[in-house]
A and B are shown apart, each in its own frame.
Chain A
Amino acid sequence: MKPGRLLVWGGLAALAWLARGLVLPVFLAAALAYLLSPAVAWADALAIRRSVAVSALFAVIIAVLAVAGFLLGPGLLAEAAALVDRLPALARQIDVGLDAAVRELAESAPALRRLLPEGGDWVQRFVLNRGPGEPGDLFEHVGHLFLLAILVPFFAFFLLRDMHRLIAVVMDRLPPQHVETSVAVWRELNGVIGRYIRGLVLDGLVVGALAALGLWAARVPYPLLLGAFAGLANVVPFVGPLLSAAAAGLVVVLTPGQGLAGVGRVVLLFLVIKVLDDTIIQPFTIGRSVHLHPALLLGSVVVGSHALGVLGMIIAVPVATVLQETARLLLEHRRVLARRDLRLRSERPVV
């Protein structure tokens, strides 16, 4: 490789390393852009300039968010404030229960004593000592969230406005013999990712609404907060529904007067939601976008979790689907070319 080219590649690698903090905002912005792209495609068909269409779309979203915040915000804030107020008492309650369980286990099985955690007040130490004890940490987290809230819509705006120009530039630089396959791969992937993200968000909204309604009907405290958590956690395959059921179950356990019957109601509710999600909601929302074998689906989630944690679990399914589709198209391309070469060889006159 020439020294000049090596220098350029080295510079690009260094730039990518410096900009690694932008990976998450760009990823979230791409997801938001995919979510909104049907509205932009609709405006394209009406021959409306992209910048006008995207600006109008963002204005509508801001208005919708303002109305939603006005309607749901006070309820959510009140629930969150109540939960924060109750947090010390809840943490103490959980610690008392955990202490008793650990002591009981140690007495019944002395061999396990060495494996059991020592000390106590685990939850109180974990939950309560964080905020006031580490103000810098708290400000850093709030700062990150604020930055995300600004960067994600900012990048999504420009992705929606300029992506077609970027594609046009790439198309003009592609060698002609690769155009058809590249267009095929790009369109398939674009379709799969777009349908998956839009389906996932719609699925999360429906599951969240069902959970909130069900918890409210079962008189579980904080139904809005737990419903919102269920909707958000739903994007994590397999683990998400378990986490949201566990959170609701924990709230029930710590609420006086709910008892085991309350836990049973919550478990039944989340079981029904999961069955409804798998049999009715997902086929309508995510539907045809994912054609993965269940074993491959589970395997991809495990690999994603090991590689990138929760983010890896969320992106595992679309990434596996994209890899599968790309492999299918490229193999099909190779097979057709091999058939053509075979035919040409058989047609060649024997000298």
Chain B
Amino acid sequence: MFERLLPRWLAWAADPEQLRRAPFLARAPLFAGLPRRLLARLATRFFEKVYHPGEVVFEEGDPGRALFVVVEGAVEITRATAQGAYVLNTLGPGDAFGELALIDDFPRSATARVATPGRLLILYKSDFDALMEGNSRIALVVLRNLSRLLAIYARRRPVVATEPGPERAGPL
């Protein structure tokens, strides 16, 4: 009787929201390699928000204070030029954007606009900093993943230092 009831009670006592978030974050390239325990701690710091098509998450030049992870829907990353705005990338579930806000205080280098109805997870910089201070493993894994992403981008689009470079499509 007890053996039958205990698993049922444990399943009821578990928070479905957290159980959904941690494995989802594990699939995001930025958090790949983080152990489950740390992913669970990280997941508690995220806010979730529903976005409608056409809504601007942030604009180029805005102060960057948070990282976003796409849970549902699609997000277009665009950049304005003299000829008009053009799409640099379209992100889907599991993709993260705005990650440079976790590292420096520079303004956003592109605009993020929601293309289809979606939900985003939002991690504020100070929360991430607090987690990094409390656990260097998170800092190490995330910064290694971020370096990998930057390396991939740099190989794809080498920048000539002496000339004004082309548009960037890497981390924002």
Contacts and interface: CB of A to CB of B under 8 A. Distances in A.
Contacts of A66: none
Interface in B35-62: 37, 40-41, 43-44, 47-51, 55-62
A44 B18 contact: yes
Interface residues of A, number: 34
Given A336-B63, A339-B107, A167 B47 contact: yes
- B interface residue count range (under 10 / 10 to 19 / 20 to 34 / 35 or more): 35 or more
Contacts of A347: 82
Interface in A315-345: 332-333, 336-337, 339-340, 343-344
Contact of A49 (B12, B48, B57): B12
Nearest to A40: B44
Nearest to A332: B63
Contacts of B18: 44-45, 47
Contacts of A179: 49, 57, 122
B13 interface: yes
A41 B122 contact: no
Given A47-B14, A49-B13, A176 B55 contact: yes
A183 B15 contact: no
A340 B62 contact: yes
B48 to A, nearest CB: 7
A177 B55 CA distance: 8
Contacts of A339: 61, 107
Contact of A349 (B12, B50, B58, B82): B82
Contact of B124 (A48, A49, A183): A183
A168 interface: yes
Nearest to A181: B65
Given A183-B122, A187-B126, A333-B63, A176 B44 contact: no
B14 A49 contact: yes
A344 B14 CA distance: 50
Interface in B114-128: 114, 122, 124-127
A188 B15 contact: no
Nearest to B14: A47
A347 B66 CA distance: 27
A300 B48 CA distance: 36
Contacts, number: 90
A276 B122 CA distance: 41
B19 interface: yes
A52 interface: yes
Contacts of B41: 45
Contacts of A181: 63, 65
A180 B97 CA distance: 13
A52 B41 CA distance: 18
Interface in A30-72: 41, 44-50, 52
B30 interface: no
A171 interface: yes
Given A41-B44, A45-B40, A45-B44, A183 B66 contact: yes
Interface string A168-211: 10011010110111011001100100000000000000000000
B78 to A, nearest CB: 15
B102 to A, nearest CB: 13
Nearest to A172: B50
B62 A337 contact: yes
A32 to B, nearest CB: 20
B21 to A, nearest CB: 9
A46 B44 CA distance: 10
A336 B122 contact: no
B97 to A, nearest CB: 12
Contacts of A333: 63
Nearest to A51: B13
Best-buried of A48, A180, A191 by chain B (most CB within 10 Å): A180
23 contacts: A44-B18, A44-B44, A45-B44, A48-B14, A48-B15, A49-B12, A50-B15, A167-B47, A168-B48, A172-B50, A174-B49, A176-B51, A176-B55, A176-B56, A177-B58, A180-B63, A180-B66, A183-B122, A184-B66, A184-B125, A187-B126, A339-B61, A340-B61
Q: Which 9 A-B pairs have the closest CB atoms?
A: A340-B61, A47-B18, A336-B63, A44-B44, A176-B55, A45-B41, A187-B124, A184-B65, A52-B13
Given A184-B66, A191-B126, 17 more contacts: A45-B18, A45-B40, A45-B44, A47-B14, A49-B15, A171-B49, A172-B49, A174-B49, A179-B122, A180-B62, A180-B63, A180-B122, A336-B61, A339-B61, A340-B62, A344-B61, A347-B82
Interface of B: 12-15, 18-19, 22, 37, 40-41, 43-44, 47-51, 55-66, 82, 107, 114, 122, 124-127, 130
Interface of A: 41, 44-50, 52, 167-168, 171-172, 174, 176-177, 179-181, 183-184, 187-188, 191, 332-333, 336-337, 339-340, 343-344, 347, 349
